Chains A and B, each alone.
Chain A
Amino acid sequence: MDKKIRVFLAKPGLDGHDRGVLIVGQALRDAGMEVIYSGLKQTPENLVEAALQEDVDILGLSILSGAHMALIPRIMELLRESDAGDVTVIAGGVIPNDDAEVLVAEHGVARVFGPGTDTREIVAFIREREERR
């Protein structure tokens, strides 16, 4: 058996910046993971459907538009409705600490990585999480 960690990196909402998410994608790829990138401007419905079809272990959401408190809870809800609550959701972009706390405590996001995060920290987090599975 040769299990590979599959990650879906998605850009929900109206946000045209993907430099950051692509750098994360490269780091995860170089760490031996299979990374699927969604492209810009995804609706919660579309990206959850894609995450299901790709059967990913990790869903990474990159949001710099400020709409994270509307988009992320909706995505979490859709995942639960699709019986896919076991997918680990991480987020990044421009998300204030107060909001990040709410997203983790109340909505089930595993971790929010703020600006300036070392990509090795993300790799380590995902690996550790998958080993515990």
Chain B
Amino acid sequence: MKDSPNDLYQKLLKGDRRAAARLITLVENADPSARQALKMLHRHSGGGHIVGMTGSPGSGKSTLTCRLARHYRDEDRSVGIICVDPSSPFTGGALLGDRVRMQELSGDPEVFIRSMGSRGALGGLSVATNDVINILDAFGKDVIIVETVGAGQVEIEVVKYTHTCIVVTMPGGGDEIQAIKAGILEIGDIFVVNKSDRDGAPRAVADLEMMLETKPGTSEEAWKPPVITTMALAGEGIDELAAAISAHRGFLVESGLLEEKTVQRMRAELLEILNLKVSRAAENALEEEGVGAELVRRMADREIDPHSAADEVVEYLLKRAGR
């Protein structure tokens, strides 16, 4: 039994979890029929607060996400969770294990958890993540938590798609800072030192605070990212973390940055879709006889250099688009 895009849309707005789950699958599979539903859903999204959760593998992102979701449920707020785990670049398969750490949330229909394979995307998310955020947003989730692939240094895509970005680290024998090198330090709105019962926690906090203090380009009125210590397993520090998230949201609203972030997010989303479309068009042009295929042969014969060949393809695509 297959629902039409319009059926999915109608059901989803009525709170049908199955419709939301099905639409997410269509989006993940890049099924063309998802487009119609996404189009209609767009104006219903924008109400949820989107929280990014990133950090090194094993730092406790899933457990923190689970505890945070519990906190929001106690406040009677609905929660959407997107967990991205790596897909194998060789087979495309993935073992998605984040639910194991979120068992206490299962069975609560007000918490919608979706596990996603990264499916070849870099940066810690998957290509469909943003569409899935929008679906859960339109589905009416008050808070949407996006947990990235754990890698430590490159998964900074998440900052483009979230309102509040949390960077999780843990005490690890003096090498904490390794996990929060350039790039990751800039994207955090809130830093968490999890597993704070371990040796070296105060040192990790002090180091982080010092690095944040001396971060260039911080002005008086800018947001000062707090460093919060938690023991996610024991549930300690979760109230403080939730308070920091709502303080950050308050700051965004008052400073007018929320609107700016939304615009930035839309821009990033548009650019990503355009990149995909343009690169597909370019790939197709390279296959066309007399166009790309000819150029590639001339390059191999050293008649034309790669940059000039690229200019010719761009020229060709623009001319064809103008027709």
Q: What residues of chain A have their CB less than 8 Å away from a CB belonging to chain B?
A: 1-4, 6, 25-26, 28-39, 41-43, 45-47, 49-50, 52-55, 82-84, 86
The distance in angstroms between the C-alpha atoms of A38 and B113, with both chains bound, is 12
Contacts of B28 in A (CB 8 A): 4
- Is there a chain A Cβ closer than 8 Å to B276's Cβ? no
Given A35-B96, A36-B96, A39-B100, do A52 and B91 touch, yes or no (CB 8 Å)?
Answer: no
- Picked from A2, A3, A37, A83, the residue with its CB within 8 Å of the CB of B95 is A37
- Picked from B18, B88, B101, the residue with its CB within 8 Å of the CB of A83 is B18
Nearest CB to that of A49 among chain B residues?
B107
Contacts of A2 in B (CB 8 A): 29-30, 119
Contacts of A29 in B (CB 8 A): 88, 91, 93-95
- Would B18 and A82 count as touching, CB distance under 8 A? yes
- Picked from A4, A33, A39, A45, the residue with its CB within 8 Å of the CB of B99 is A39
Contacts of B21 in A (CB 8 A): 52-55
A-facing residues in B120-171 (Cβ within 8 Å): none
The distance in angstroms between the C-alpha atoms of A32 and B100, with both chains bound, is 21
Given A46-B107, A52-B18, do A35 and B113 touch, yes or no (CB 8 Å)?
Answer: no
- Is there a chain A Cβ closer than 8 Å to B218's Cβ? no
A-B contact sample (4 more), CB < 8 A, given A39-B99, A39-B103: A4-B92, A30-B91, A43-B107, A55-B25
Given A25-B95, A53-B21, A86-B1, do A3 and B29 touch, yes or no (CB 8 Å)?
Answer: yes
Interface of chain A, main secondary structure? mixed
- Would B106 and A50 count as touching, CB distance under 8 A? yes
- Would B25 and A1 count as touching, CB distance under 8 A? no
Nearest CB to that of A43 among chain B residues?
B107
Interface of chain B, main secondary structure? mixed
Nearest CB to that of A9 among chain B residues?
B95
Contacts of B107 in A (CB 8 A): 43, 45-46, 49
- Would A31 and B112 count as touching, CB distance under 8 A? no
The distance in angstroms between the C-alpha atoms of A84 and B51, with both chains bound, is 31
B300 to chain A, nearest CB (A): 31
The distance in angstroms between the C-alpha atoms of A109 and B31, with both chains bound, is 29
- Picked from B92, B109, B112, the residue with its CB within 8 Å of the CB of A32 is B92
- Would A47 and B106 count as touching, CB distance under 8 A? yes
Given A35-B95, A42-B106, A49-B106, do A84 and B29 touch, yes or no (CB 8 Å)?
Answer: no
- Is there a chain A Cβ closer than 8 Å to B97's Cβ? yes
- Is there a chain A Cβ closer than 8 Å to B60's Cβ? no
A-facing residues in B70-116 (Cβ within 8 Å): 87-88, 91-97, 99-101, 103, 106-107, 109, 112-115
- Picked from A1, A38, A42, A46, the residue with its CB within 8 Å of the CB of B31 is A1
- Is there a chain A Cβ closer than 8 Å to B256's Cβ? no
- Is there a chain A Cβ closer than 8 Å to B265's Cβ? no
The distance in angstroms between the C-alpha atoms of A45 and B162, with both chains bound, is 32
Nearest CB to that of B107 among chain A residues?
A46
Nearest CB to that of B80 among chain A residues?
A53
- Picked from B100, B103, B117, the residue with its CB within 8 Å of the CB of A34 is B117
Nearest CB to that of B115 among chain A residues?
A36
Contacts of B114 in A (CB 8 A): 53-54
The distance in angstroms between the C-alpha atoms of A55 and B18, with both chains bound, is 7
